[in-house]
Structure 1
Amino acid sequence: MLALAAVAGAAWAVRDLPAALGGRPGGPPAERIRTSPHFRDGAFQNQQTTRTMVADNGQRTIREFLFGGQRRRPSGPVPVVTPSAPAGPDDRPPATADAAADELAVIWYGHASALIEIEGRRVLIDPIWSDRCSPSRLVGPRRLHPVPVPLDRLPAVDAVLISHDHYDHLDMATVRTLRDGQSAPFLVPLGVGAHLRRWGVPEDRIVELDWADRATVAGLDFIATPARHFSGRGLTRDRTLWSSWVVAGQRQRVFYTGDSGYFDGYADIGRDHGPFDLTLVQVGAYDPAWPNIHMFPEEAVTAHLDLRGGLLIPVHWATFNLALHSWADPVNRLWREAKARDVRLAVPRPGERVVVADPPPVDGWWQAIE
C-alpha cells in the first residue's frame, strides 16, 4: 500500500508540473508589458547593469561545496513560535480584528513570508507554505523548519503581496489555498498575473503594477518600486517583472526589498517614499558568484540606512538552503554590522510577533543550533 501511495504521489507531482511553471501573459496584460519603459529586447531590465552569475568555470563553487566546511543546516530544531490563532477557518475574525489601528507589527513565518499588521489591516507577503520551493513536490530545497501555523488558520488578510515569480516567493499550492480560503486581492509585479490566472485566481483579485505604479487597497497605498534581480520559472528569464514594495498607511510605512542586489535606487526610494518605520530586508542566499542579485548582510544594513529605515527585520534566511554559506552566517554578519552602525534590529523566531515600537532585544537564539 505504501508503495502504491508513493507511485500515486509521484504521478500527481509529474502531472501538476506544467501548471506549476505558470502562465504566459496575453491580451491587455501583454500589451502593458510591451509598452513598459522597463521592458526592452524581449525582457525586463534592471536599472543598472546586472549579471546573474559571475563566471568561474564552477571551480570555486565545487570546491566550496565539497571542502568549504559550511554548516548549511541547523544542528537542532529551529525554535518555532506558534502564533495565537482562531479555532478554525470558519471562525476567523475579520482582517481588522486583533490588529490594533495604532500598532505596527509583523509576524515572520520563515524565509520571506511575513504578515504585516498596519493601521488595523493585514498584508501577507510572499507566502510559501509548501515543503519545497520547487515546481516539484519530490525534488528541490526542502524546509529546515515547519511552518509556524497552517495556512488555513491565518486570520483574514486584506492583501497578498508578491515580489517576483521565483519558486521560493510564488508557490502554486499556497496561492490556490489562498484563492479559496481568503478573499483578498493579490498585488503582483507586471506579468506575474499570468501565473495567477492559470491557477484559477479571479481577474478581479489580480492587481498588476509596473515600477512607480500604485494601488489603494483597504485604505493602504501599495507602490511597486525597483529591485535589482531577475525572474523566471522555466528556461526563459525576465518575461515578468520583479519588485520591491512600499506599504503606506496614513501614519505608518513599511518597505519590503523582495530579492535584490544592492543598488543606488534604495537612496531614491528612501527620499521619495521614506522614512520607513520598518524595513523587511533580504539577507540570505548570497554568494560571490552572484553578487548583483542578492545582498550580502553588510549591504542589507546599508540599504536600510539608505531607505531611512527605523527597525530592520531580516528575511530570506533560515528556511531553505539556497546558497553555500553557513545556515546562520546571514544573521551573524547582520548583527555585527547593525551594532557597528547603530541600527535598530529585531531577529524574531519563525512565528514570533514583533511590535515595531517595542521590539524584543536580539538574543542570539540561532547560535544554540549553529
Structure 2
Amino acid sequence: MLLTLVLLAAVLAISYLLFVSYYPSFGGDVPEALQTKYASSENYKNGAFINQKDVPEDLGFWETLKIARKFFFTKVPNGVPAENIAVQHLDSIQIADYEGESRLVWFGHSAFLLQTKGKNILIDPMFGEVPAPHPMLGGKRFSKELPIEVEKLPKIDAVIISHDHYDHLDYESILKLKDKVGHFYMPLAVGVHLKAWGVEEGRITELDWWQQATLGDLEFICTPAQHFSGRKLNNRQSTLWSSWVIRSASESIFFSGDSGYGPHFKEIGEKYGPFEFAMMECGQYNESWPDIHMFPEETVQAGVDVRAKAVMPIHWGAFKLALHSWTDPIERAKKKAEALNIPLVAPKIGQAIEINSLLKPNSLWWENL
C-alpha cells in the first residue's frame, strides 16, 4: 500500500511538472537577469514582490487544501445565476467609428473597453470561457456570449493589465488580440507571459508603482494594490500587481484591479484624485482571504477614499470564484453606497457608460436571474 501511494504521488508530481512546463497558458518564468533588475524596486524583497502590509498570509499546503475542498464541495445558494445572463450586443462599426464623449463598456468581471480621446483601450481583457489554465479546471462564464466577439473588435491602441491571475490575464484572449493591439501596459515582470505568447518586447511597457507612461493625450499611472500574483504553484509573487489611474487634461478614472482594503486608496486619492469614475473590485471575497479581496462595504469606502464622484462595483457578474451568492456583491455595495451617499453605477454587460452621463442602477437587472 505504501509503495502504491508513493508511486501515485510520483506520477501526479511528474504529470504536474509536465503540464506546467509545456502547456502554454501558464505563461513564462522570470529569468534570473530580470530578478536582479527588479531587486531595485521597493516592492521586491528576497526574490519576490511584496505588499505594503505583510499579506497575504502563507497558508501552507494543508490549509490551502482545506480551503480548496470547501470551495469545490460547498453548495452555495444562488451561487450562479439560474439562467444565462443576457448581454447587450455591440456593433463593430459603431465602435470603430465612435467619436463621442469618453465611455466604458463592461464585459463582466473586470474587463472593459474604454473609448476616450480617439483611443480604444482594453482593461484586463479576460474574454475566455473559464478563468483557469485549462477549460476543465474552472467554472464557465455566466453569460454564453460576449457583447462582441474578440475578432470583431477594431484596432486597439492599448491594453492595460493589472496582474497575472487567470481571471485577468487570459492566454486565449491575448492570442486573439495581440495582432490588433498597439501597446501593452502592465506592472513589473508580467511581460514575461506576453513574450512567451509571442508579443514583441517593443510593444510591452512594465511599470512599478507610481511610475507612468503616456499615450497621446493620455497618462497611464501604475498605482498600488494589496494582492498577490502567480500562475502556478512555484511562482507566487514573481510578478507585480497594481491598480491604475487613467487620466487626460479633462478626466481621470481609477481602476482598482484586485485588492484588499488598505491605506493605499487614500494615498492614491490624495495624489491623483478626485476621479470622475472609479471601477472598484467587489466580488470573490471570503473571511479566509480578507486581505486580498474587499468586501462590498469596503469597496464603497475605498471609492470614497480615492475621492471618486461615482463608483462601479466590478469583479462580479461573470464567474464563481468564492462562496457568496452571485448577487451578494452588488446588493451589499448598493446598500452601502446609499448609506454613504455616493452614486453607484451598475450597467448591464455590454451597456455603454458615458463618463459624463452616468447610469444609475435603476433597472436592478440582476434580480430574478
| TM-score, normalising length: structure 2 | 0.88
- Alpha carbons of 1:67 and 1:125: their partners in 2 closer, same or farther (altered >3 Å)? closer
Give the conservation status (yes or no) of the 8 Å contact 2:27–2:194.
yes
Q: What is the percent sequence identity of the aligned residues?
A: 37
Counterpart of 2:191 (choices 187, 190, 193) is: 193
User: Are the equivalent residues in 2 in contact too, given 1:247–1:254 (CA < 8 A)?
Assistant: yes
- Quote how far apart the aligned CAs of 1:51 are: 2.5
2:149 match: 150
Give unpaired runs (5+ residues) of structure 1: 1-13
Maintained 8 Å contact 2:343/2:360: no
Deviation at 1:32, TM superposition (A): 2.7
Superposition deviation, residue 331 in structure 1: 0.4
Partner of 2:93: 86
Change (3 A) 1:48 1:153: same
Give distance in 2, aligned partners of 1:65 and 1:173: 25
The CA deviation at 1:75 is 1.4
Counterpart of 2:79 (choices 62, 66, 72) is 72
For structure 1, which segment, 137-146 or 35-44, has the greater mean C-alpha deviation from structure 2 after superposition?
137-146
Secondary structure (helix, strand or coil) at the match of 1:197 reads helix
Cross-structure match for 1:367: 367
Equivalent of 1:32 in 37, 40, 46:
37
Partners of 1:266 and 1:306 within 8 A in 2 = yes
CA offsets per residue over residues 131-183 of structure 1, 9 Å max, x none? 11111133212111122210011232221000000000001111111112x13
Q: Secondary structure at the match of 1:160?
A: strand
Letter in 2 for 1:118: T
Structure 1, residues 294-343: CA drift from partner, whole Å, max 9, x if none? Answer: 01110000000000001211111011110000011000001111111111
Note the C-alpha offset of 1:246.
0.6
Distance 2:356 2:170 in 1: 32
Contact 2:76 2:323 (8 Å CA) reproduced: no
Q: Is the 8 A contact 2:158 2:184 kept in 1?
A: yes
3-state SS of 2:312 partner? strand
Deviations, residues 343-363 of structure 1 (Å, cap 9, x unaligned): 111111111101122222312
Query: What is the aligned partner in structure 1 of residue 23 from structure 2?
Result: 18
Q: Which amino acid aligns with 1:287?
A: N
| Cα drift, residue 36 of structure 1 | 1.2
SS at match of 1:368: coil
Picking from 44, 47, 51, the partner of 2:49 is 44
Q: How many residues align?
A: 347
- Aligned in 2, Cα 1:315/1:52: closer, same or farther, shift over 3 Å? farther
Deviations 1:231-253 (A, max 9, x none): 00011200100000011111111
What displacement does 1:29 show?
3.9
Change in CA separation of 1:76 and 1:327 when aligned onto 2, cut-off 3 Å: same
Cα distance change of structure 1 residues 310 and 53 upon mapping to structure 2, 3 Å threshold: farther
Q: Distance in 1 between matches of 2:239 and 2:71?
A: 32
